[in-house]
Structures are given as C-alpha cells and as structure tokens.
C-alpha cells in the first residue's frame, strides 16, 4: 500500500472536513474492505480518516414504535447477536450472522458492509483495468463469470456483495446521509444504482457524504427470513442470498418483499415474485409460483446459469419456511 | 527400496523376524547390512515407539516462540521484492530499473538474463531496499516492455493441433524416445506398475464395460508459510535461513548457482510452515528467488530477506497438475475385473510430470489386463511441483470413481467389488476395519434413496503408495553428556510432521529414557545429512540411523556402567532411566549416575543409515470411507465423517502419524470440494491468486475425521517404519465423490464438486 496519513475524527463534521481538505482522502469504518483496497492499490489515498473515534456512531436503538436506529459503526456481530433484532427483524440479524467469518464480523461494521465495493475477482486485482476501475471492458463478459450476475448486468457484471443490504431492503430500511447540504434520507430501494447509470459506483453516496444512520421501520405483523448459499460453510461470499418478508392475514399474503443477493449489481428486489405472492396463500403452489416469477428476465452469462435454478429453489424454500 | 530389491552384496547379517499384521504374522528372513540391528517386529516389546507423544516443540509453536523463516530478522537486513512477468507468453524487450534504483532506500537490483516469457509470474527483476515498503514501491517502478506472443492456458485447447506452442519444436522438454506432437508429450507408462496382459482380450471377455472421463483442475499447495529465505554472507561463507523441505537441496542448489563450494554454504530450517512438496527445489519450480536473494545480499553487502507473497506463492512455486482421465473398465457380472485401460492427459504448466497412472498400476492387482497411457500437455502456466503423492489423488479419483460406476451398473456393493479384485493382504484387513468404523451397512442400497432434500450417503475409495527410503548418505549423531542429558543431531528438517519428536522417541526407546529427556537438533546442514522430505521418506530414512547412533552411544555408556555393576557391557540393558543387568533388574545403576562416570564431558556416537533390505511388502495400502450430506436443492455438499485406514509400517509416534492422516483428509476434502486455480481464458493470468477466491476448506467445513493405522511390521529397516505423509491423501477425492453419488445419485466427474456441478449432475440423473 502507499504511505498515507492517518487521522482520527471525533465528529462527523470533522471527518467530512478532514476528507475535504485532501483530495483522494478516504473514510474508514471497520477497515476490512478498505485494507483490501489499500493492499492491492485500488485506492492510494493521501489520508485515511477513521470514523471509529466518533462517539455514538455504533449505537443500536430500538425505538418505542418498533423501528430501529442503527449506528453505521455497529459491528456485524453486535447486530447479529442483538436479542431484540433477532426477534423483531430476524432476516437482518441472520444476514449479519452469515457474513464473512467470526473474526471479521467482530470488526466489520454494518455501514461498511452496505457500502463495500464488489468482490468481483477482476475488480479486486490491480492488473485488470476493468470498467469499475475506469477501464473500458468488463472482463467477466466472455471470461470467468461463474460468480457474476444474472439480473441487471451491463456494462459491468459484478454482483453486489452486501448480505446486510439484502435484508435491509426486505425490511424497507432507509439510509441517512450527511453531506454539504445537511442530512438527507434515501430509501434502500432507491439508494443502490445499476452500472448502466455509472459502472464505477454502486450507490448514490456522494463524495464527502457520510452514512450516519440506518433506519429500519417496525416489522410488526411481518415475518422474515434470510438465507444464503455459499460453497464453503464459512468465510465465503454467497452464490445466491435471499431475504424474504411477508405480511399475511388469515392465511393470505397481503404484502411481500423478496430480495435477492449476489445475482445483480445491486440487492435485487423481485417485484414479480412479490406480485405472484400477494393475494395467495403461502403454500407449495404459492411459493412455486413466486419462485418461477423470480427468475423471469434472468440473463445468465456463459458459466452461471446454475444461479437461475438456485434462485428458484431458494425462493421456494425460504417462503415455505415462513409458512 | 522395495520387495523387488536384491539383497545387498556387501556383508550381510540375517535376521528372522515376525513381520506383517498381527492378525496374520509372517516369519521372514531378512538380510541386513553388517552392523545393523535386528528390526523391531511383532514380537518387540516397545516402551516408547508406537505410543502417543505430544510434540516436543508444541509449546513453542503455540506461544509464538518457535521462529519460522518469516520471523527471522537481523541488524542491517534488507528486504527484497521480485518483479514478475505480467503476460503469459512473449519476449522481454526491455527492463528499465532506473526509476526503482533512484528511489530512496533502494540498495541494489537484479534483472533476469532470460528473454523468453512462458507464463505470467515468471522472474523478471528484483530489488532490495531498507524496508519492505520501499522494496514494494521500488518493484512497482521497474518498467518492463514485452513483445507479447500467442499463448494457451487451457488443457484441452493446448491439445489441439493449431494451439499456440509453449515451446519451440526443438526445445520441448521430455525424454527423447517419447512421442511429441505440438504441446503433447506421450504416451508413457508410470515408472512403477505398468502394463500387463492384453486389454483388448480383457474387454472382449467382459460382460459389462464402463468408460468415462474425469477431470481435476490445477490445485496449488498453499502452505501457510510462503516460500522465502534470508541470505547472509560472511566473507566467502553463505548462510541461508530457508522455508524448505530440503536444507541439503538448498545448500547444493545455492552452491551450484553461485559457484561456491558446498562446504561454504550453511542452510538452516528450524521450523517450517508447510510445503506439501512445493519446497523441494533449491528455490521453487517456477522461480529462482532464493538464488536471487543470495545474489542481492552479495551485491549489497548486507543480509537480504526475500519472502514471497501469497500471489507469488500461487503463480510460481508449483502446483498439482490438472488431469483429464479416461478410464475404461471391463468386468464379469460378479464384479471380477477383466481389463482396465487408463488414459490421461494433464498439464504441469511449462513443466512435465503430469502423469496420474500410479493408482491404476497398483490397485485392483488381480485384474489380468492393464494398459496405462499418460500424456504431459504444456500450457503457458506456472510449472507444477510434487504435491503430496504426485498424480495419485487425481488418478485414484478417476479410477475409483469408475470402479464405483461399474459396481452401480452391476448392482453390486462397491466394497465387495474391490474385495474381489484385491491383491494386497493389508488392504483386505483394512476393508473390514474401515467398513466397521464408518458403518458401511448404513449406505444407500440405491443411490439417493433417502427421503427429503438433504440426503446422506457413504462412499469409499482406495489408494496406494510406495516404500521410499534413502539407504545411504543419511546419518545421525547422539550425544550423552556428563550430566546425563541427551541430545541428537540430524540435518533433516521437520516440515511440520513432528519429525523431531519422532526421532527423540527412537533415541528414548534405545536409551531407556523418556522422550522429554531428549533434546532434538534438526534442520541444519552442519549436522549429519538427512534427505529432502519428499516421497514420505524422512522418518523412514532417518529413524534407522537414529536408532543405530543411540545404540552405539548406549554401548559406550554401558562400557562405563559395566564395571560399576561388575558385569560385561553386553549383559546390560536400559529402561526407565536405569541401566540394569539383563534378567536381574534389581542390579542396576541410574542412567545419570553412569553418565557422571564418563571420561571427558561427552559420549558421542555418529551412525550412518544402513541399506534398506527386502521388506514385508514394497507397497503401502490404504482405503478411505466418507459420509456426506448433499442438499439437493442447492447442490451444497458437506462432509459429515471420514475414516482413513492406512499402512505406514510401524508408526513411530502414533499421535503425529494420526495428525498427518487427519491433515490429509482435510487437504483432500478441500481439493475435492473447493480448490481450483482459475486462469482467465482471455488474458491468461490467474484471477484468484489469494486465499479469498482460491478456496481452502474453512473451519466450519470440518467433519469428524477418524484416522486409523493398521500397524504393519514392515521389516525393511531396523525400525520397521515406512511413510505416511503422502499415501493418506490418495483415496480422499474418490471417496468423497463416490459418497456424493451414493447420497444423491449425482455423479460428478469434474472436481471440485461445487453446487453448480451437483445441480447439473442431479438434473442429468433425473433425465436418466
């Protein structure tokens, strides 16, 4: 990595100022993803500004109305082991528990997890000057794309890596971003952006903006679940992940959110699957119909068509686990 | 070397020994070299050897006091970093080091003389600087210009007539008398085993034939400690601290490359963080980094440390070749094999040595007709290196999958098919032991018959290996000091197997002491020579010399003790820290008391390894059983339990022998399910040169691993030990694949057995 200056911020305002002072300066949360970028020289910042020293940013608050206010610096372990969240928002707790390895979960933050860059092996190696690094080609096209996307691809095909984001989307969360014009709140469903808009970004966060809070509405009346399929049992990225939240009345689904991970450049909400569920009962027939709907429009690459079948099986199985 | 070896022509001494397995002892006459000791056999009453002894260096390893090459630093030391070829084929036009040399802290640089690039990752240049950071920065400033050429990295594409040629026609490596066409060299037969009978006749006689093709990708060794050295010159004398499996190989390699005398090179490996065969070369198969470090140290007049990083470890330090194996088997209705035709292609990158026919040559020995054809295929990729039983895990996966497919087609129990064709009395014993330990009767009688989406099943496979031992040029020194302390000296290195503890057990056995009384000194070329640790030959080669040295030292101490007890030295024996009169244990003197009476400060005995002689068997038998769970909705395979049954002659330390067997199961399962070097098909460079996407089994993937040793009095040397490191990984891949089939009905013929392949195989099975 390059030699850089290390600064500890004591407030969000100061952190933003420390970054603004030095073009190319970066923020550090848990530092897991940043360290990988530094070691591979994907970034060579003159200054790294640590957010860990800011008091209060790791707080997890369960509000009286059932909603959650998550400090972005809360670690994945803290979210996963929070008894209240396990009960109120099970998909979220599960998604944080499934991420990475125990050692990493103890350091990695939920904010960092949501904002981390893709794990595409081309993006992660300095030697491949790919679209995501300002180059002019996505090496996954016609290349080694077994782990790449089946939805929303083009011109870049790297899947979004966040587990937590998949669950947050299913829970209808929103992100509070603090920038030059003060704080703004963006729904998770609007926050993530496709490469067709800009292949070098995965979300709306502007340079100099800081994620200061994750708001998760009350999940009263909802049942939710998260599952991911990975080759290794631990310390592996999902082939496919899924978060499902369902609201039923008298055996009939009234509202549903089906969100898929690792299959698109953003956490992929399958509105087709949701529509297939609403008004139906959560049984074999309903789950199978939703599973079929979930893969409509899938566009697998040369080596990843297995993800289509995997998505169907997972949608069906996760829905039935909530029946 | 094996049972075919002729008795030595030098004077011999004949011993009658009780050899083989305790359930079926064989009385053998063996002809050892004069001066050798009677081998330990089934009648020997051993007090220490064959017991379970925790590693003497265990506490140093877990507390961080054990210093590995990586941990060694010294004043004034420079850090070196190499620059590697970024393209898979072409010519180096220019190497410009001027910017690197201008960087503050940079002391010296090296550039290659070679202009041809044949794989991405080849040595190009190196820098040495005052800090690792400066070295890394400087390496990035070296500018290399290439004239790129067409290349091929894919095994099957490389076999095509119009494939780009890795070597110019007159430069293709390999023996002269073997056919060469394009990138393909072969067919050849394995060095052992080989063809017999007439396969055409055998297939004509068969009631059923199975012919399938299996594949295994390139697997990298991925030791925890990467390759590396520290090189230090003092005048004309060079000392190298190396992470190596062969201190002597490094010594000889450095002496030759640098034009210095061997006696002026010292190589030290006190602790080593894994090699699995990749650390047998003086540097490594795809890089001369150690030579470069020595040159940089000479140029700079300062010690130089050069440790490879993880990416380099994947690219240029060796790997297990890929394999594409077509197995045709003919059998009678009762499962009796009539013919085996084994044909393989494999790529060791720019190197040869991709043969996988060993298991086919050794297993199912009753089959009368056998033909083996092996081919090396060159690709523009890093050269292979031996990896734990080279070629055998791949070959056993193919052969044992095919036998399993044959059993399924005939509706027979695959274990019964193997019994019917088994020529080894040892494996026949192991079948019963293993079947009982795994509960073989629990297997699905019809593959995939368990209800529900998560299905369990059992599979098994066989493996083979050979008895390798160096019969000369191996020594040991044992010293008994006046204070009664004992130490031994062996130049051979402990590569993590527990060698230093096992040799201390041999000394303790001979001297009647506890293992913890013995101080080991290993891994230094200044001490009596030991072999490089390859072929599972270290313990086998060194232990007999250790025993002889301990015996000779004991006899010298007996000469001191005899007058104290008023008897002749030949009447004495040693046990429990005492020297006593044979037959009258009451007449004794303490080991320490006797030592205190010695003339001078030290009794020293140096012994040379005597020749290996005819053994009970020259092959090592093994078989493994796996239980797996297959999630048929996701294709995910989890190994539940494995039983590994092995012959290693007499184990010296049962605890670390079992530890090696467990390690092999882990490495083998990781190979079967996860590991896969991926080279980009369009650019020719590796996309997963790390331990994130080059996947090695994680802690949570761990299963119940049951190591079993079937003790065989091998009687090929005075300790009756053979080897264990390699044989125990040979059956693992096949056992897992066969269990996946039994669990789910999915026959996966390409490793690793990843969810995509399982789902595809399940779909194929449903289609019939």
- Chain segment A172-215, per-residue pLDDT in tens: 999 999 999 999 999 999 999 999 999 999 999 999 899 999 99
Give the whole-angstrom CA distance, residue B243 versus residue B250: 10
Domain covering B1-35+424-467+615-768 assigned CATH 3.30.365.10 in the classification: yes
Instruction: Quote the strand ranges of chain A, DSSP E.
Output: 5-8, 26-28, 47-50, 60-62, 68-70, 174-179, 182-187, 210-216, 222-229, 240-249, 252-261, 268-269
Inform me whether the C-beta atom of residue A140 falls under 8 Å from chain B C-beta atoms: no
Give the whole-angstrom CA distance, residue B745 versus residue B457: 10
Distances from the Cα of A212 to the Cαs of A59, A89, A177, B138, B449, in angstroms? Answer: 11, 20, 6, 40, 53
Q: Verify whether the Cβ–Cβ distance B759 to A310 is below 8 Å.
A: yes
Give the whole-angstrom CA distance, residue A105 versus residue A101: 6
Contact assessment for residue B617 and residue B712, using Cβ atoms and an 8 Å cutoff: yes
Mean pLDDT across A231-240: 96
Using a CB-CB cut-off of 8 Å, the residues of chain A touching B697 are 232
Q: Write the residue in B683, B688, B700 that is nearest to A234 by C-beta.
A: B700
Q: What's the confidence (pLDDT) of residue A135?
A: 98
Using a CB-CB cut-off of 8 Å, the residues of chain B touching A139 are 680, 682-683
Q: Domain B469-608: state its class.
A: alpha beta
Write down the CATH number for the domain with range B186-216+321-380+388-422. 3.30.365.10
Q: Domain B69-150+222-317: state its class.
A: alpha beta
Which residues, in sequence order, are bridge partners of residue B144?
B95
Q: Is the pLDDT of residue A155 over 80?
A: yes
Using a CB-CB cut-off of 8 Å, the residues of chain B touching A3 are 133
Q: Is the pLDDT of residue A168 over 70?
A: yes
Contact assessment for residue B18 and residue B714, using Cβ atoms and an 8 Å cutoff: no
Strand-strand pairing, B370-377 and B337-346: parallel
Q: Write the residue in A127, A146, A231 that is nearest to B685 by C-beta.
A: A127
Give me the residues of chain B with pLDDT under 70, please: 1-9
Between the CA atoms of B491, B494, B497 and B498, what dihedral angle is there, to the nearest 10 degrees? 90
Inform me whether the C-beta atom of residue A229 falls under 8 Å from chain B C-beta atoms: yes
Helix (H) or strand (E) holding B92: strand B90-96
Q: Verify whether the Cβ–Cβ distance B698 to A236 is below 8 Å.
A: yes
- Chain segment A265-300, per-residue pLDDT in tens: 999 999 999 999 999 999 999 999 999 999 999 999
Strand-strand pairing, B337-346 and B323-331: antiparallel
Using a CB-CB cut-off of 8 Å, the residues of chain A touching B695 are 231-232, 236
Looking at the complex, report in whole angstroms how far the Cα of residue A66 sits from the nearest Cα belonging to chain B: 35
Give the whole-angstrom CA distance, residue B745 versus residue B128: 56
Inform me whether the C-beta atom of residue A120 falls under 8 Å from chain B C-beta atoms: no
Instruction: Quote the strand ranges of B468-583, DSSP E.
Output: 475-481, 486-490, 518-522, 572-575, 578-581
**Burial profile A29-42: b = 16 or more Cβ within 10 angstroms, e = fewer:** bbbbbbebbbebeb
Inform me whether the C-beta atom of residue A158 falls under 8 Å from chain B C-beta atoms: no
Strand arrangement, sheet containing B486-490: B518-522, B486-490, B475-481, B602-608
Backbone φ, ψ for residue A79 (5° rounding): -70, -45
Mean pLDDT across A222-234: 97
Inform me whether the C-beta atom of residue B103 falls under 8 Å from chain A C-beta atoms: no
Contact assessment for residue A99 and residue A164, using Cβ atoms and an 8 Å cutoff: yes
Positive or negative: CA dihedral B316, B399, B758, B445? negative
Q: What's the confidence (pLDDT) of residue B8?
A: 52
Q: Verify whether the Cβ–Cβ distance A139 to B754 is below 8 Å.
A: no
Mean pLDDT across A38-46: 97
Which token pair is B206?
Answer: 């068969």
**Burial classification of residue B255, based on how many CB atoms lie within 10 Å of its CB (0-12 exposed, 13-18 middle, 19 or more buried):** middle
DSSP symbols for B600-662: SSEEEEEEEPPPP---S-SEEEEEEEEEEEEETTT--EEEEEEEEEE--BS-SSHHHHHHHHH
Between the CA atoms of B579, B581, B583 and B586, what dihedral angle is there, to the nearest 10 degrees? -70
DSSP letter (8 states) at residue B413: -
Chain B residue with minimum CA distance to A227: B634
Inform me whether the C-beta atom of residue B131 falls under 8 Å from chain A C-beta atoms: no
- Chain segment B239-265, per-residue pLDDT in tens: 999 999 999 999 999 999 999 999 999
Which token pair is B263?
Answer: 């006696």
Q: Kindly give, in sequence order, each residue whose CB lies less than 8 Å from that of residue B513, ignoring residues fewer than 6 positions away.
A: B486, B507, B574, B577, B591
Higher pLDDT, B704 or A251: B704
Q: What's the confidence (pLDDT) of residue B114?
A: 96
Contact assessment for residue B10 and residue B613, using Cβ atoms and an 8 Å cutoff: no
3-state secondary structure of B59: helix
Mean pLDDT across A8-35: 97
Q: What's the confidence (pLDDT) of residue B2?
A: 45
DSSP letter (8 states) at residue A62: E
Contact assessment for residue B129 and residue B103, using Cβ atoms and an 8 Å cutoff: yes
Q: Where in chain B is the domain with CATH 3.30.365.10?
A: 1-35+424-467+615-768, 69-150+222-317, 186-216+321-380+388-422, 469-608
Using a CB-CB cut-off of 8 Å, the residues of chain A touching B137 are 2
Q: What's the confidence (pLDDT) of residue B5?
A: 57
Contact assessment for residue A219 and residue A93, using Cβ atoms and an 8 Å cutoff: no
Mean pLDDT across A227-250: 96
Contact assessment for residue B673 and residue B697, using Cβ atoms and an 8 Å cutoff: yes
Q: What's the confidence (pLDDT) of residue A204?
A: 97
Contact assessment for residue A284 and residue A177, using Cβ atoms and an 8 Å cutoff: no
Inform me whether the C-beta atom of residue B634 falls under 8 Å from chain A C-beta atoms: yes
The tally of CA atoms less than 13 A away on the side-chain side of residue B337 is 36
B700, B748, B754: best to mutate for the A interface, most A CBs within 10 A:
B700
Which token pair is B255?
Answer: 């002496």
* Residue in this structure with the two tokens 């493996």, named with its chain if needed: B463
Contact assessment for residue B671 and residue B641, using Cβ atoms and an 8 Å cutoff: no
| Angle of CA points B138, B140, B141, to nearest 5° | 65
Q: Of the candidates B304, B310, B296, B237, which has an alpha carbon nearest to the alpha carbon of residue B72?
A: B304
- Chain segment B19-49, per-residue pLDDT in tens: 999 999 999 999 999 999 999 999 999 999 9
Give the whole-angstrom CA distance, residue A25 versus residue A47: 5
Q: Of the candidates B158, B677, B82, B125, which has an alpha carbon nearest to the alpha carbon of residue B380?
A: B158
Give the whole-angstrom CA distance, residue B327 versus residue A91: 48
Inform me whether the C-beta atom of residue B577 falls under 8 Å from chain A C-beta atoms: no
Q: How many helices (H) and strands (E) does chain A have?
A: 12, 12
């Amino acid at each position: 990595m390059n030699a850089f200056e290390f600064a500890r911020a004591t407030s969000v305002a100061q952190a933003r100022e420390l970054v603004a002072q030095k073009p190319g300066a970066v923020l550090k949360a848990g530092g897991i993803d940043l360290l990988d970028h530094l070691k591979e020289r994907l970034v060579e910042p003159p200054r790294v500004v640590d957010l860990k020293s800011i008091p209060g940013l790791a707080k997890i608050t369960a509000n009286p109305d059932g909603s959650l206010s998550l400090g972005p610096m809360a670690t994945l372990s803290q979210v996963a082991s929070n008894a209240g969240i396990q009960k109120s928002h099970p998909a979220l707790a599960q998604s944080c528990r499934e991420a990475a390895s125990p050692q990493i979960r103890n350091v990695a933050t939920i904010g960092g997890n949501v904002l981390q860059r893709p794990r595409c092996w081309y993006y992660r190696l300095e030697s491949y000057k790919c679209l995501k690094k300002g180059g002019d080609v996505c090496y996954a096209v016609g290349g080694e794309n077994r782990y790449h996307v089946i939805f929303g691809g083009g011109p870049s095909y790297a899947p979004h890596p966040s587990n937590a984001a998949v669950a947050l989307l299913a829970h209808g969360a929103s992100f509070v971003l603090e920038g030059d014009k003060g704080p703004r709140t963006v729904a998770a469903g609007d926050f993530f952006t496709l490469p067709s808009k800009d292949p070098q970004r995965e979300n709306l966060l502007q340079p100099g903006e800081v994620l200061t809070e994750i708001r998760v509405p009350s999940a009263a009346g909802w049942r939710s679940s998260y599952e991911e399929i990975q080759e290794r049992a631990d310390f592996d990225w999902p082939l496919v992940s899924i978060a499902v939240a369902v609201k039923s009345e008298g055996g009939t689904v009234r509202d549903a959110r089906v969100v898929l991970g690792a299959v698109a450049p953003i956490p992929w909400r399958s509105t087709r699957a949701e529509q297939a569920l609403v008004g139906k009962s959560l049984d074999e027939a309903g789950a199978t119909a939703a599973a079929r709907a979930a893969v409509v429009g899938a566009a697998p690459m040369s080596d990843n068509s297995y993800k289509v079948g995997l998505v169907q099986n997972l949608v069906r199985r996760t829905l039935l686990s909530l029946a | 070397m094996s049972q075919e070896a002729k008795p030595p022509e030098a004077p011999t001494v004949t011993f009658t020994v009780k050899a083989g397995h305790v359930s079926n002892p064989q009385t053998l006459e063996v002809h050892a070299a004069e001066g050798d000791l009677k081998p330990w056999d089934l009648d020997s009453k051993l007090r220490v050897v064959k017991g379970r002894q925790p590693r003497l260096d265990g506490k140093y390893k877990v507390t961080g006091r054990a210093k590995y090459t990586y941990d060694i630093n010294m004043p004034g030391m420079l850090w070196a970093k190499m620059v590697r070829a970024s393209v898979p084929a072409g010519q180096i036009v220019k190497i410009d080091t001027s910017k690197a040399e201008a960087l503050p802290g940079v002391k010296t640089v090296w550039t290659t003389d070679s202009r041809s690039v044949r794989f991405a990752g080849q040595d190009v240049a190196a820098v040495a600087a005052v800090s690792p950071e400066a070295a890394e920065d400087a390496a990035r400033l070296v500018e290399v210009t290439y004239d790129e050429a067409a290349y091929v990295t894919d095994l099957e594409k490389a076999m095509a007539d119009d494939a780009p040629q890795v070597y110019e026609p007159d430069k293709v490596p390999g023996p002269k008398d073997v056919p060469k066409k394009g990138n393909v060299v072969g067919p050849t037969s394995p060095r052992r085993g080989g063809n017999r009978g007439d396969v055409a006749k055998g297939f004509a006689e068969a009631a059923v034939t199975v012919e399938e093709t299996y594949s295994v990708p390139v697997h990298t060794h991925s030791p925890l400690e990467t390759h590396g050295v520290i090189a230090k010159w003092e005048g004309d004398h060079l000392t190298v601290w190396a992470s190596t499996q062969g201190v002597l190989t490094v010594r000889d390699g450095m002496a030759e490359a640098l034009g210095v005398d061997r006696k002026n090179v010292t190589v030290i490996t006190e602790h080593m963080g894994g090699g699995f065969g990749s650390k047998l070369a003086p540097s490594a198969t795809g890089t001369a980094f150690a030579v470069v470090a020595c040159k940089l140290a000479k140029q700079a007049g300062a010690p130089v440390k050069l440790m490879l990083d993880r990416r380099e470890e994947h690219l240029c330090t060796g790997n297990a070749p890929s394999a594409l194996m077509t197995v045709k088997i003919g059998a009678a209705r009762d499962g009796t094999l009539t013919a085996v035709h084994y044909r393989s292609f494999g790529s060791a990158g720019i190197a040869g040595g991709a043969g996988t026919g060993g298991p086919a040559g050794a297993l199912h020995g009753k089959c009368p007709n056998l033909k083996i054809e092996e081919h090396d295929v060159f690709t523009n990729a890093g050269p292979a290196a031996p990896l734990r039983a080279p070629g055998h895990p791949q070959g056993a996966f193919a052969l044992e999958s095919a036998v399993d497919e044959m059993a399924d087609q005939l509706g027979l129990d695959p274990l019964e098919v193997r019994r019917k064709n088994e020529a080894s009395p040892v494996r026949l014993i192991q079948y019963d032991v293993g079947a009982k330990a795994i509960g073989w009767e629990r297997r699905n009688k019809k593959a995939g018959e368990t209800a529900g989406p998560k299905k369990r099943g059992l599979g098994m496979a066989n493996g083979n290996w050979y008895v390798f031992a160096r019969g000369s040029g191996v020594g040991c020194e044992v010293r008994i000091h006046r204070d009664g302390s004992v130490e031994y000296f062996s130049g051979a290195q402990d590569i993590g197997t527990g060698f230093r503890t096992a040799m201390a057990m041999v000394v303790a056995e001979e001297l009647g002491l506890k293992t913890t009384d013995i101080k080991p000194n290993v891994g230094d070329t200044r001490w009596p020579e030991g072999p490089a640790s390859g072929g599972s030959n270290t313990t086998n080669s060194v232990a007999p010399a250790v025993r002889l040295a301990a015996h000779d030292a004991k006899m010298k101490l007996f000469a001191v003790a005899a007058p104290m007890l008023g008897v002749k030295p030949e009447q004495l024996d040693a046990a429990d820290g005492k020297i006593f009169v044979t037959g009258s244990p009451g007449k004794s003197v303490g080991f320490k008391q006797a030592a205190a009476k010695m003339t001078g400060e030290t009794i020293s005995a140096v012994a040379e390894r005597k020749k290996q002689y005819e053994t009970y068997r020259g092959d090592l038998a093994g078989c493994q059983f796996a239980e797996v769970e297959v999630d048929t909705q996701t294709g995910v395979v989890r190994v539940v339990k494995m039983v590994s049954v092995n012959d290693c002659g007499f184990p010296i330390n049962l605890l670390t022998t079992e530890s090696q067997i467990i390690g092999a199961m882990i490495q083998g399962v990781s190979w079967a399910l996860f590991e896969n070097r991926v080279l980009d098909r369009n650019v020719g460079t590796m996309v997963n040169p790390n331990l994130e996407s080059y996947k090695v089994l994680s802690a949570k993937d761990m299963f119940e691993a049951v190591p079993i040793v079937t003790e065989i009095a091998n009687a090929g040397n005075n300790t009756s030990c053979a080897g264990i490191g390699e044989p125990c990984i040979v059956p693992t891949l096949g056992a897992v694949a066969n269990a996946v089939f039994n669990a789910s009905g999915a026959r996966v013929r390409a490793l690793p057995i990843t969810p995509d392949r399982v789902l595809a195989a399940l779909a194929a099975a449903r289609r019939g």
